[in-house]
Chains A and B, each alone.
Chain A
Amino acid sequence: MRKRLLAAVALVAATAGVKAADLLPPFTVGYEPTNVDERGLWMDSDNRERQIRDSKLTVHDEELNRYLTGVLCRTVGAERCRGVRIYVMQVPAFNASMSPNGMMEVWTGLLLRVQSEAELATILGHEFAHFELRHSLDGFKQQRRSTNAGAWLAVLGGLSNTNTSGLQLSVIASSFKYNRDQEQAADLLGFRYLAAAGYPTSAAPDVWRHVMAEQDATAVGHGRRPKPEYQDGFFNTHPASARRAIYLEAESKKIGDTGKDDGAARLRAAIAPHLPEWLDAQVKLNDFGGTEYILEQLAGNGWSGDLLYARGELYRLRGNPRDLATSIDFYKGAIAAGYRQPQVQRNLGMALLRSGRPADGKSALGEYLRLLPGANDAKAIQALMAN
């Protein structure tokens, strides 16, 4: 099975340079699972989809969904995308996943991080490639084979009083390697979609560069030295980001110019209504460095009120005296940039109080209560002001 998969990868690689659209594998509309394993996996996926549909974590926003579906359809083609339902999940981390029945989950943390529609298309195309290549089924079978082998090794080892842990370890290793090979195959097929759709393919390696840059920023923010991974680790389910960036960069150079418009503005417009909420979740992750990195990327074209407010929150929550002083500047900047949510006054007031400026602080808190008389923390704020 692994051989077959590797052969498929090699095939995709060998035909690079030919027109992108010709490279896509054949596709069946309305595919139904065929054997017992696949029907079982689809049943589980259908159950999970029911749960996801009814989950409180699912973002129910038709317009956002229409946008994402539109990007997917442009990327993989109108015919293929019909088999997929996209669910946006409120999770502040970088991930998306694909179920064998055509359910795609996209986390809000991913939408906050991709910097252009082309980067988003890279991810959606990658996930769709898992679906099209039926990786869940192959992965399931592979896992079963290796756990079966492991179980026999353990029992027979016990029977013959032989230590089989080395052999068992190699079975485990092959399992993780298999997963990484699947990811690479999905990367490469996803790349073909991206090119065929006329997006600039440099977006594909960019995704992984940004992931690495954020990880470095997170490490620095936590006082650690950044340790980029260039090689796949033993237990890694995915290839190292650096390796992904390198082979996708090579593909991108090979294929040449496929388009100029990366659709960054369209992506920004699509996520704008949710930005405050998603930023709020990100700021609370206790990841100062990584969040600063994300905010800076988002502020590429200038600092909006939303971004300045989030940055103020980030500094206020870290809470060193110097951070409070900085947060006051950001809150004021947000107000000057037209940010109108009442919380900005409350949090500005709190930062001022803690910076030893009670008069200014109380006036900001008063402004908060004036804007939002029925606030659920009104009593606490009044008590603070009375002190």
Chain B
Amino acid sequence: MALAISTTALAQEKTGAKAGFTLKPGTVRIILMRPAISVGSQSTGGMREPNADWTNQAIENLTAALKRTQGKLGNEVALYDEGVSGEGALTSQYANLFGAVSNSVIEYQFFAGNRLPTKKRSKEFDWGVGPGLSQLKSLEGADYALFIHTRDDYGSTGRKMLQIVGLLAGVGVTSGIHQGDAGLVDLKTGELVWLNADRAMGGDVRTPEGAEKRVAQLLEGFPGKPVDPAAPGAKK
């Protein structure tokens, strides 16, 4: 029986960027790809229970929060629009690929103890999705693509009860999953130039205020951002 026994939150690095990468404010155009957002709850046994209503709320709140933040990132940020390019399918394949790459970065680079031998040798941040992106007509005129992904499973009442009783029994039980990442891909080379990821994020995405906080956390340390708008309660 898969009972997610906690391995006390391992130390995780949260941000990576290509060595020497900087972004001067006001010089580039960034496309925000369709964010992948999923919200649900976590059953007593640790199963994910997808929740369509919460997900819809989160999409609405996060999109609004992102729109408000767009102007503060130092560079022009526009939403992705497939237009008449007919590239929807290809773009979503790239989004999937980005998801696989960012998961690998988190798993095999950000957790120092779990680092792949090839990623141990230097401090290099060397990841990418291949140069094919530069061929997409629908991304013409843009320099970077920004991918955002969040997953929230709120611990159910039963899970919280189990956690409390587990505490007494000496069985570590985690409650809730709150993960998110944001990544910036250079459209000319396909290189991942910046990634910010956290497997324990704050902000309840089901509320507008929580979504605001989440977006601030996701974009913490975004390259080229003039000042970090003080994210209320943002983790350091």
* Interface pick from A40-48, A199-207, A270-278, A307-315: A40-48
- Chain A residues contacting B96 (CB-CB under 8 Å) are 51
Of residues 11 to 53 in A, which have CB atoms within 8 Å of B's CB atoms? Answer: 33, 36-37, 39-44, 47, 50-51, 53
B117 to chain A, nearest CB (A): 30
* Interface pick from A70-78, A143-151, A225-233: A143-151
B5 to chain A, nearest CB (A): 9
**With an 8 A cutoff between CB atoms, is A384 at the interface?**
no
- Chain A residues contacting B50 (CB-CB under 8 Å) are 40-41, 43-44
Which of B1, B38, B92 is the one whose CB lies under 8 Å from A171? Answer: B1
Q: In the complex the two chains form, is A151's CB within 8 Å of B49's CB?
A: no
Q: In the complex the two chains form, is B171's CB within 8 Å of A154's CB?
A: yes
**With an 8 A cutoff between CB atoms, is A380 at the interface?**
no
Which of B2, B43, B88, B171 is the one whose CB lies under 8 Å from A155? Answer: B171
- In chain B, what residue has the closest Cβ to A39? B52
**With an 8 A cutoff between CB atoms, is A56 at the interface?**
yes
**With an 8 A cutoff between CB atoms, is B46 at the interface?**
yes
Q: In the complex the two chains form, is A152's CB within 8 Å of B44's CB?
A: yes
- Chain B residues contacting A37 (CB-CB under 8 Å) are 49
Bound-complex Cα distance A171 to B3 (A): 14
- Name which of A44, A144, A150 has the most chain B CB atoms within 10 A of its CB: A144
**With an 8 A cutoff between CB atoms, is A256 at the interface?**
no
What are 29 residue pairs bridging A and B, where the CB atoms are less than 8 Å apart in the complex?
A33-B52, A36-B52, A39-B52, A39-B53, A40-B40, A51-B96, A54-B92, A55-B93, A143-B47, A144-B45, A144-B47, A146-B45, A147-B44, A147-B45, A150-B1, A151-B3, A151-B44, A151-B45, A151-B46, A151-B162, A151-B173, A155-B165, A155-B169, A155-B171, A156-B165, A156-B169, A158-B166, A158-B171, A159-B168
Q: In the complex the two chains form, is A148's CB within 8 Å of B92's CB?
A: no
**With an 8 A cutoff between CB atoms, is B51 at the interface?**
yes
Q: In the complex the two chains form, is B166's CB within 8 Å of A155's CB?
A: yes
- Name which of A33, A43, A151, A152 has the most chain B CB atoms within 10 A of its CB: A151
Which of A42, A44, A154 is the one whose CB lies under 8 Å from B1? Answer: A154
Q: In the complex the two chains form, is B93's CB within 8 Å of A54's CB?
A: yes
